[in-house]
């Protein structure tokens, strides 16, 4: 089925996808290489939940990402890799070269004992070998679990243990802006409590001195010399696991979201081509995310390769060596499609137009936004100053659990509206419900966003704990997938995501659970109890505000603050450090002992005179103290 090229076609396809989802997605799936066709297009119920797309079908996603393109695109660039340091040599990999590297590293994984179904933890910087490592796992049917390079040893070990990884792929160090990060040392610390890990494969990125554990650690560069580039692709069932990716929820530790091979392949490819209008909008695409997050999995690794696109992959940060880096890289590679996060846009906007005007940016055709709501001001700045008023912005709403984009304009086809993700993609059936789960119909309404029918890349389970998956996403409202987001539907039927309605924060596009930060803070010896909430932050979207109760320690507030930040950095990583810490003697609790977060949120937002009903509090005086000590 051809890509959608007009709004009328969008409406037709949307209707078709709702009237007959199975025929709609089967038609999409036909274009791929399957070694055996599926027996059944869809089996599903949202009660267990159990969802199977293309069950019985056999495929390997890397054959579809790589081998399938070799006859036509062997010498086309798959990745332009742009290093952190603009003066370091850039690297490019053609489809043929990428295919070869993936096969070789797949053989390295096998040589080191990796088998189909084994979990491989990948903890690496944004280098081409990171994409190669994911694809090499997929090649042999191993399940990758990528952990973002900014997570701490403690966060890393938790993720390795949870899914019982046998192999870890990492690097000596990492460059991020002006910083060098000792990745291997962090991994070593994590591995002290991960006895199940048998092999660690270490890439040399920074040439730094590292500790190698005999019998466990091997070097990427040594291993790769010992294998050939012949690696037949393992034939996977469409519902075999492709990867696990950990993400934060409102309670407890992060959960391993599981995606499977067939549906994920079909859906990410479909959304990439339609949302960005690839290839008619141009052949060079750049998504600035890190592969450590789902955006990178779906829209740096899998979807662009499935589509045979040429991508830029960037190691560094938007502000290094200065705030013009993104724009310089866009000109350098003549990027046509640029996909980034609102937090980056706001930070670059704040740096001033002086960093933008030196660049032409005339190759740009489509701009994308992802990860958090984009405010109208940032949207307009992006549209006018980067897109020069002529590039459509696709504000793409989705989640780790959805695998791919669910609500978004189609570039140049759907009329956009600042800060609206606009309309559902074909195959996606959103509904808004009230607290009790009653559907809110009509337009000009607001409610909790749910989806009532499975799309091919919906979450299948949370690793090792299916009940948690059911509880989290399918139990709040019967027979609906609950997103955790609040949403408005305006008079035109356009969707606008208003943010999380649960205890999940979104800080610079990073998803962080309040409970995780609280348990990290509570590790500090002087802290008795804490409560964490998000509050609006000009650049980060949300900042983290922590209320803490201390023992009668003699430490001054500043020392305590620094120690708390260190504790959070140690337990989770620097991304979860609270922006504000207020020491309090009590928290606003109901008589049944539940913390009234609504009040804490209001105080954090600076709305001290609008706290609502506080009469059910056990001790209303606590609120007065909190108000008096609020941090501006």
Instruction: Catalog residues that contact ligand WT7 under the rule CB under 6 A.
Output: 247, 293-295, 369-373, 395-400, 421, 483-485, 497, 499-500, 506, 511
Q: Which is nearer to ligand WT7, 500 or 524 (CB)?
A: 500
Are the beta carbons of 341 and 372 closer than 8 angstroms?
yes
Shortest distance (Å) from residue 443 CB to ligand WT7: 19
Q: Which is nearer to ligand WT7, 152 or 483 (CB)?
A: 483
Q: Which is nearer to ligand WT7, 498 or 553 (CB)?
A: 498
Are the beta carbons of 149 and 248 closer than 8 angstroms?
no
Q: Which is nearer to ligand WT7, 210 or 344 (CB)?
A: 344
Are the beta carbons of 262 and 57 closer than 8 angstroms?
yes
Maximum pairwise Cα distance, the chain: 74
Q: Which is nearer to ligand WT7, 321 or 499 (CB)?
A: 499
Shortest distance (Å) from residue 293 CB to ligand WT7: 6
Shortest distance (Å) from residue 630 CB to ligand WT7: 26
Are the beta carbons of 15 and 8 closer than 8 angstroms?
no
CA separation for the pair 561, 544 (Å, rounded): 13
Shortest distance (Å) from residue 255 CB to ligand WT7: 11
Q: Which is nearer to ligand WT7, 282 or 513 (CB)?
A: 513
Q: Minimal CA–CA distance to 109: which of 119, 124, 95, 94?
A: 119
Q: Which is nearer to ligand WT7, 60 or 508 (CB)?
A: 508
Shortest distance (Å) from residue 622 CB to ligand WT7: 30
Which uninterrupted H or E stretch holds 304? helix 303-306
Cα-trace Rg, the chain: 24
Encoded tokens for 416? 């956009």
Q: Which is nearer to ligand WT7, 262 or 292 (CB)?
A: 292
Q: Which is nearer to ligand WT7, 374 or 596 (CB)?
A: 374
Shortest distance (Å) from residue 449 CB to ligand WT7: 9
- Cis peptide bond N-terminal to 279, omega within 30: yes
Shortest distance (Å) from residue 396 CB to ligand WT7: 5
Encoded tokens for 48? 């267990």
Shortest distance (Å) from residue 296 CB to ligand WT7: 9
Shortest distance (Å) from residue 2 CB to ligand WT7: 26
CA separation for the pair 97, 78 (Å, rounded): 9
Q: Which is nearer to ligand WT7, 287 or 527 (CB)?
A: 287
User: Which residue's structure tokens are 């989802």?
Assistant: 21
Q: Which is nearer to ligand WT7, 492 or 624 (CB)?
A: 492
Encoded tokens for 365? 């055709």
CA separation for the pair 560, 476 (Å, rounded): 39
Question: Is beta strand 481-489 parallel, antiparallel or unpaired with respect to 445-451?
Answer: antiparallel
Shortest distance (Å) from residue 491 CB to ligand WT7: 20
Encoded tokens for 282? 């141009």
Which uninterrupted H or E stretch holds 347? helix 342-351
CA separation for the pair 540, 536 (Å, rounded): 8
Shortest distance (Å) from residue 28 CB to ligand WT7: 21
Q: Which is nearer to ligand WT7, 302 or 547 (CB)?
A: 302
Are the beta carbons of 143 and 117 closer than 8 angstroms?
yes
CA separation for the pair 212, 498 (Å, rounded): 48
CA separation for the pair 61, 242 (Å, rounded): 9
- CA 100 to each of CA 129, 303, 433: distance values in angstroms, whole numbers, following the listed order: 12, 19, 50
Give residue 489's Cα distance to chain centre: 25
Shortest distance (Å) from residue 298 CB to ligand WT7: 8
Convert 545-561 to b/e letters by CB count within 10 Å (16 or more is b): bbbbbbeeeeeeeeebb
Q: Which is nearer to ligand WT7, 157 or 400 (CB)?
A: 400
Encoded tokens for 135? 């694809």
User: What does the DSSP assignment read for 120-183?
Assistant: EEEE--SSHHHHHHHHHHHHHTPEEEE--TTS-HHHHHHHHHHTT-SEEEEES-EEETTEEE-H
Shortest distance (Å) from residue 342 CB to ligand WT7: 8
Encoded tokens for 39? 């027996």
Does residue 241 sit in helix, strand or coil?
strand
């Amino acid at each position: 089925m051809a890509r959608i090229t007009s709004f009328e076609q969008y409406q037709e396809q949307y209707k078709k996808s709702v009237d007959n989802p199975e025929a709609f997605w089967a038609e999409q799936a036909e274009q791929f290489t399957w070694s055996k066709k599926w027996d059944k297009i869809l089996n599903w119920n949202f009660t267990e939940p159990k969802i199977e797309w293309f069950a019985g079908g056999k495929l390997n996603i890397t054959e579809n990402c790589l081998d399938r393109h070799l006859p036509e695109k062997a010498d086309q660039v798959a990745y332009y890799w742009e290093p952190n340091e603009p003066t370091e040599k850039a690297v490019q990999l053609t489809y043929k070269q990428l295919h070869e590297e993936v096969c070789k590293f797949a053989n390295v994984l096998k040589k080191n004992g990796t088998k189909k179904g084994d979990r491989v933890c990948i903890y690496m910087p944004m280098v081409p070998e990171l994409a190669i490592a994911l694809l090499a796992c997929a090649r042999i049917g191993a399940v990758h679990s990528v952990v973002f390079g900014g997570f701490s040893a403690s966060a890393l070990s938790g993720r390795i243990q949870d899914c019982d990884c046998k192999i870890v792929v990492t690097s000596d160090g990492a460059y991020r802006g002006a910083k060098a990060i000792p990745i291997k040392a962090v991994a070593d610390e994590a591995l002290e409590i991960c006895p199940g890990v048998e092999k660690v494969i270490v890439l040399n990125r920074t040439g730094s001195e590292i500790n190698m554990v005999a019998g466990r650690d091997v070097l990427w560069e040594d291993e790769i010399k010992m294998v050939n580039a012949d690696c037949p692709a393992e034939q996977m069932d469409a519902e075999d696991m492709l990867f696990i990716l950990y993400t934060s929820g409102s309670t407890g530790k992060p959960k391993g979201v599981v995606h499977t091979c067939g549906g994920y392949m079909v859906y990410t490819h479909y959304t990439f081509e339609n949302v960005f209008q690839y290839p008619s909008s141009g052949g060079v695409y750049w998504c600035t995310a890190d592969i450590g997050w789902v955006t990178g999995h779906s829209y740096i690794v899998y979807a662009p390769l499935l589509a045979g696109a040429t991508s830029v992959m960037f190691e560094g940060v938007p502000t290094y060596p200065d705030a013009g880096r993104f724009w310089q890289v866009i000109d350098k590679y003549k990027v046509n499609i640029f996909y980034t996060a609102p937090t980056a846009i706001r930070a670059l906007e704040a740096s001033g137009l002086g960093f933008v005007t030196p660049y032409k940016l005339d190759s740009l055709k489509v701009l994308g936004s992802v990860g958090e709501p984009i405010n109208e001001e940032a949207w307009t700045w992006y549209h006018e100053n980067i897109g020069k008023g002529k590039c459509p912005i696709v504000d793409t709403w989705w989640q780790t659990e959805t695998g791919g984009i669910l609500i978004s304009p189609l570039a140049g086809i759907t009329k956009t509206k600042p800060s609206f993700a606009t309309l559902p993609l074909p195959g996606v059936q959103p509904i808004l419900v009230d607290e009790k789960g009653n559907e809110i119909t009509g337009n000009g309404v607001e409610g909790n966003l749910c989806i009532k029918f499975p799309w091919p890349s919906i979450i299948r389970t949370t690793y090792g704990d299916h009940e948690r998956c059911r509880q989290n996403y399918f139990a709040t409202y019967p027979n609906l997938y609950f997103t955790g987001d609040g949403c408005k539907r305006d008079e035109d039927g356009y969707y606008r995501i208003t943010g999380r309605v649960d205890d999940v924060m979104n800080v610079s596009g990073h998803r962080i659970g309040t409970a995780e930060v609280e348990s990290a803070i509570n590790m500090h010896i002087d802290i008795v109890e804490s409560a964490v909430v998000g509050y609006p932050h000009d650049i980060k979207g949300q900042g983290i505000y922590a209320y803490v109760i201390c023992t009668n320690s003699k430490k001054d507030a500043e020392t305590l603050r620094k120690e708390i930040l260190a504790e959070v950095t140690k337990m989770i990583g620097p991304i979860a450090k609270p922006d504000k810490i207020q020491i309090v003697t009590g928290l606003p609790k109901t008589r049944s002992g539940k913390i009234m977060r609504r009040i804490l949120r209001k105080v954090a937002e600076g709305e001290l005179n609008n706290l609502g009903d506080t009469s059910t509090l056990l001790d209303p005086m606590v609120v007065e103290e909190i108000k008096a000590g609020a941090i501006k």
